[in-house]
Amino acid sequence: MKFDTVIMGGGLAGMVAGIALQQAGKNTAIVSMGQNALHFFSGTFESLQAPSERLAELFSAAGIRVHYREGVRLMPLGTFKEAALSLDDIDLFPTPKFGRRVLIVNFLGYHDFFSSFLAEGLEKQGMECRIRFLSLPELDNAKAHGEMRSVQIARSMDRIWEKVAQEIRLLLKDEDTVILPQVFGLLDDTIPGRIRQAIPARVVFAGTMPPSIPGVRTQMQLRRRYELLGGTFLMGDQAIRAHEHDGVVHSIATHNLDAHYLEARNFILATGGLYSKGLVSNPFKITEPILDLDIDQPQDRNEWYNPTFAGDQPYMGYGVKTDEHLHAVKDGVAMQNVYAIGSILGNTRPNLGSGAGLAIRSAFAAVDEILRSTSEQSEI
Amino acid sequence: MKLQEYTTSAHNFEECMKCTVCTAYCPVLQVNPLYPGPKQAGPDGERLRLKDPYFFNYALKYCLNCKRCEVACPSGVKVADLIQSARIKYDTHPPKLRDQILASTDFMGTLARPFAPIVNAVTDLGVTKKVLDFSLDIDHRRTFPKYSGRSFESWLKRRSKEQAAFPEQVAYFHGCYVNYNYPQLGKDLVKVLNALGVGVQLLDKEKCCGIAMITNGMAREAAKHATHNVEVLGKAVSQGLKVVTTSSTCALTIRDEYPELLKVDNSAVRDSLLMATRFIYEKLEQGATLRFKSGYHKKIAYHTPCHLEKLGWGVFSERLLRMIPGVEFTLLPSSCCGISGTYGFKKENYEASQAIGQPLFDQIKTIHPDVVACDCETCKWQIEMSTGYPVLNPISILAEALE
């Protein structure tokens, strides 16, 4: 099967690149081994400090609403982090002390939302907190049978959010702020806004354990947009081998399509870091499994780690080497039709929260390179 | 590093990193609170079952075996295989009479075919449905598939000489549905392949692929079918033939369920069994051409069946349909229709089955197509019954559009 560009990896980076290329009239495929890091998405693009018109346009065409405001956001354990560009689900505050009295509401039996940690963190900022649990018969069954995750609650909330808002109004005393777990608006993203209107206090949604509801919704919207633009999304498939000749890749083999190769003029590698298996490791070295690209890593294994577990871990910074056009480097030579984007570049560190920003910026940069190089080729 | 090879766990369950992504995509978990979900039923439960079979949970029977958890898993865990293997290994209850009847699709087909008009009329009666519901727990709200008076096999046998005259040959695993219920699909395939210069042969007596047996507690019988089928496929493959099928579930079962669940080695035939859509697409890519009618117009919404999605081959059907001049094509969002073979026929699953399919039904109604295209026979029954829109296999649409 022939394409203009084949993208390996269907996370944020791969989907943004795919959508941007489809919008530019290119014919692309995305090969995605299962779901992606958007399921752990905080909802904020931390390292994108400047308002990105281009991102806002691409997202808004997919029905994803973002806003930009410099400030801080509330983290799931009651701490704060600087943030600017965010999904509309996320509140951004000028300072960490965003209220005086706070009512934290959780659902009885839901263990993936940390109300006491939140309260402790907010009390440090000088806010008074009260925690209350709502017991809802709609959630009883999930409770009894054990799997009560954000998505199961969110499915119920899409139906019963009005009743929940009513219950919260009854719980509310003199608090100026209500904090709720981020389990609203899985399919209908207007629900968080409607809850904000239905409760006579400021409503803040705080993150839960994965799956992230705003993240799951974002991935569904991006995939739908990509498919409506005519892109071919091969979900659950995995690029296993690339066929190259003189430093140019002409096709890849995938697990599901075996002998049926995907041919293209350009390839984008967006398979993620160690966590997503875009990079794999053994006791001696870290490798990139599809093309065996060059990796920036010290020889001495002892340098991979920081003995302080919670400290900055060097291995998280390792990624594939590229030239300044994001061409991936193999055996010291930049491959002219292979671009590396997203976490596989390394340097996405959870403590910086820079994954989403890097994914988007590198995706746009690679797309621009591809469009520029193809327009040059057609001029010749 | 051999160490990692030697320590690979059954169905890769130790690769699970507890990310819970699968729970977001399990259609059953969203509608049936009695089901513990793919993570608990699969890798989490496996850890416990290995310690003590006592931890086997009978609620695993609510698993649809749609494989969406596996498609979503970023770590390559065979979640659905873990669940079905656990059912095969630990479920000691003999299958109910109803489940045996539902699972024995080729046996029932052989029985019903000679009396097709009577059987069809009787199963359509409200009173029959009530009786089946009451006596066997087969839900009375279901529409039953119709039986055909003449089998596909006998139709093709009469044409074997004419088919043998084509320069290129292919063998066809037609499956129970084409043989007993809807021979037209087989005839459509013959028409399309003939137009490409390819003649169609039967296998040397295929049996039901066995998927309904696997999911209904009859793994031993299924393994017998699997061994037989691998043998007859082997005969065709050793003559240099490719084997095509029009059913995505038959394809998935023979390629993946035989080795993973039934431990039947299919390595000699696996790569030679293809969906007919893939075979045709590849022929066209190699330069073959099809001549289509002028003035053909159809608004088509394509639904990728779960098992085709697992195979990763929906793209071939999609591309073939888009290729037909005059087709207005929409790809339906990836979602399960809820029937999953015999699952939705069971009284205890009816409500869940319909609730799972609802988002898909709503989408179809919004698009308002002339026809829904889909490569799965049970999806066809479910979508036709629940939306009123006709459903055709992409092969039938190709045949209809040919000059």
- What value does the mean pLDDT take over residues B88-102? 88
B126 burial class (0-12, 13-18, 19+ CB within 10 angstroms)? Answer: exposed
| Closest CA of chain B from A226, distance in Å | 11
Q: What is the pLDDT of residues B340-392, one digit of tens each?
A: 888 888 898 999 999 999 999 999 999 999 999 999 999 999 999 999 999 99
Residue of chain A minimizing CA distance to B29: A152
> Does A159 touch chain B if contact means CB atoms closer than 8 Å?
no
* Residue A256 contacts B where some CB pair is shorter than 8 Å: yes
Cβ of residue A254 closer than 8 Å to a chain B Cβ? yes
The helix (H) or strand (E) run that includes residue B136 is helix B126-136
**Is the CB of residue A40 less than 8 Å away from at least one CB of chain B?**
yes
Residues A316-327: pLDDT tens digits?
889 999 999 999
pLDDT digits (tens, 9 = 90+) for B211-239: 999 999 999 999 999 999 999 999 999 99
User: Which residue among B23, B271, B285 sits closest to A149, beta carbon to beta carbon?
Assistant: B23
pLDDT single digits (tens) B51-74: 999 989 888 999 999 999 999 999
Q: How far apart are CA B244 and CA B174, in angstroms?
A: 8
Q: What is the pLDDT of residue A379?
A: 57
Higher pLDDT, B314 or A275: B314
- Residue A49 pLDDT more than 80? no
Looking at CA atoms only, how far is residue B190 from chain A in angstroms? 24
- Closest C-alpha among A38, A30, A49, A7 to residue A219: A38
Is A294 near chain B, with CB under 8 Å?
no
Interface-testing mutation among A150, A153, A186, A235, with chain B (most B C-beta atoms within 10 A):
A235
pLDDT of residue B140: 86
Give residue A144's pLDDT. 66
Question: How much is the pLDDT for A259?
Answer: 92
Give the tens place of pLDDT for each residue, B155-176. Answer: 999 999 999 999 999 999 999 9
pLDDT at A48: 59
Shortest CA distance to B275 belongs to which of B230, B308, B298, B324? B308
| Chain A, nearest residue to B2 by Cα | A282
A29: nearest CA partner in chain B:
B315
Residue B128: pLDDT band (50, 70, 90) is confident
- Closest approach of chain B CAs to the CA of A293, in angstroms? 20
| DSSP reduced 3-state for A370 | helix
Which candidate from B37, B74, B333 shows the least CB-CB separation from A34? B74
User: What is the domain partition of chain B in residue ranges?
Assistant: 3-90, 292-401
B70 vs A contacts (CB less than 8 Å): 236
pLDDT in the model for residue B198: 98
Which one is predicted more confidently, B370 or B127?
B370
Residues A341-350, mean pLDDT to the nearest whole number: 82
Q: Report residue A38: phi and psi, to 5°.
A: -60, -20
Arithmetic mean of pLDDT over chain A = 91
Q: How far is A367 from chain B (nearest CA, A)?
A: 24
Mean of pLDDT values over A182-194: 93
Look at residue B380 and give its three-state secondary structure.
Answer: helix
> What's the rounded Cα separation, in Å, for the pair A333 and A95?
48
The tens digit of pLDDT for each residue in B191-203 reads 999 999 999 999 9
For residue A352, the model assigns a pLDDT of: 63
The C-alpha of A210 sits at a distance from chain B's nearest C-alpha, in angstroms, of 7
Domain at B292-401, CATH homologous superfamily: AF0625-like (3.40.50.10700)
Burial class (CB in 10 A: 0-12, 13-18, 19+), A125: middle
Question: How far apart are alpha carbons B340 and A236 in whole angstroms?
Answer: 19
Buried b (16+ CB within 10 A) or exposed e, B380-390: bbbbebbbebe
What token pair was written down for A109? 């039996």
Output the pLDDT for position B108.
81
What residue segments make up the domains of chain A, in order of their start?
Answer: 2-41+232-379, 64-211
Banded pLDDT at B3 (limits 50, 70, 90): low
The domains spanning B3-90 and B292-401 adopt the same CATH topology: no
Q: Do A39 and B24 touch (CB under 8 A)?
A: yes
pLDDT at B145: 85
CATH superfamily placement of domain A2-41+232-379:
FAD/NAD(P)-binding domain (3.50.50.60)
**Contact: A235, B309; criterion CB under 8 Å:** yes
The pLDDT score that the predictor gives to residue A143 is 66
Chain A interface includes B333 (CB < 8 A): yes
- What confidence tier does B254 reach under pLDDT thresholds 50, 70, 90? very high
pLDDT at site B114: 83
A268 DSSP β-pair partners: A7, A339
Residues of A in contact with B328 (CB under 8 A): none
CATH superfamily of B3-90: Alpha-helical ferredoxin (1.10.1060.10)
Do the Cβ atoms of B37 and A277 come within 8 Å? no
Q: How far is A99 from chain B, CA to nearest CA, in Å?
A: 33
Is B59 in Cβ contact with A152 (below 8 Å)?
no
Which amino acid is it at B55? Answer: F
